[in-house]
Amino acid sequence: MSKKYLIVGLGNIGSDYNNTRHNIGFKVVDYLASVNDASFETKKLGDIATFRFKGRVFILLKPNTFMNLSGKAVKYWIDKHSIHQENLLIITDDLNLPFGSLRLKTKGSDGGHNGLKDIQDKLQTSQYNRLRFGISSDFLDGKQVDYVLGEWTAIELDQLNNRLDRCAAFVKSFVMSGVKNAMNEYNNT
């Protein structure tokens, strides 16, 4: 029997959000699907793609509930596939990390991120794996929303594919080698 992993990329649905910093979670799971010949299908509460790799099943989820209500979709798909909580990985943006840096944590606060706040509320725990993708905090006071919902700069876009590749390797390491090994190898890279 294969082990199942739910890999959730956070983002907002709709073409207005496609290339925004806040949608990096969607970008990561899109990248993972494309390099593993998987395609997304619209299902209940989100778009789902599945692929197998060395006896593991990767279930990729892009919730269609909008970012701030992501917990409903996460809870539904965890229950539907009987995913163990340690096999859940949430991928999200982080203003407190430099652009492209990656940090995996196994627990913690929502850090003011409404998507994580809703997931924590629906799962009734703050102990779940979250992979934070740095988007930096290069914005003026009072302009956080504009920055997060803004599109990537030309410099960021130039580096994005390399960072997506690194993030995909991080996710595969999490699944194949375990959370501690993945953290040792990839955190802050």
Chain centre distance of CA 59: 12
Task: Give the pLDDT confidence of 16-50 residue by residue, as tens digits.
Answer: 888 899 999 999 999 999 999 999 999 999 999 99
Task: Give the pLDDT confidence of 126-141 residue by residue, as tens digits.
Answer: 999 999 999 987 776 7
> Which domains, from first to last, does the chain contain?
3-186 (3.40.50.1470)
Q: Where are the alpha helices (DSSP H) in the chain?
A: 24-35, 70-80, 114-123, 144-148, 154-177, 179-186
Distances (CA, A) of 37 to 20, 34, 97, 137: 24, 5, 30, 34
Does the pTM exceed 0.95?
A: no
Task: Give the pLDDT confidence of 73-116 residue by residue, as tens digits.
Answer: 999 999 999 999 999 999 999 988 999 999 999 998 877 788 89
Give 129 or 2, the one with higher predicted confidence.
129
Catalytic residue among 22, 81, 84, 113: 22
Question: Nearest 5 degrees, angle CA 173-CA 61-CA 49?
Answer: 85
Q: In what order do the strands lie in the sheet with 102-105?
A: 41-43, 46-53, 56-63, 3-9, 88-94, 129-134, 102-105
Long-range residue pairs from 53-57, CB within 8 A, at least 24 positions apart, any chain: 53/172, 53/175, 53/176, 54/176, 55/2, 55/3, 56/2, 56/3, 56/4, 56/5, 56/175, 56/176, 57/2, 57/3, 57/4, 57/5
Q: Does 22 qualify as catalytic in the annotation?
A: yes
136 Rama class: left (phi>0) / alpha (psi -120 to 50) / beta = left
What pLDDT band is residue 1 in, cutting at 50, 70 and 90? Answer: very low
Distance CA 72, CA 79 (A): 11
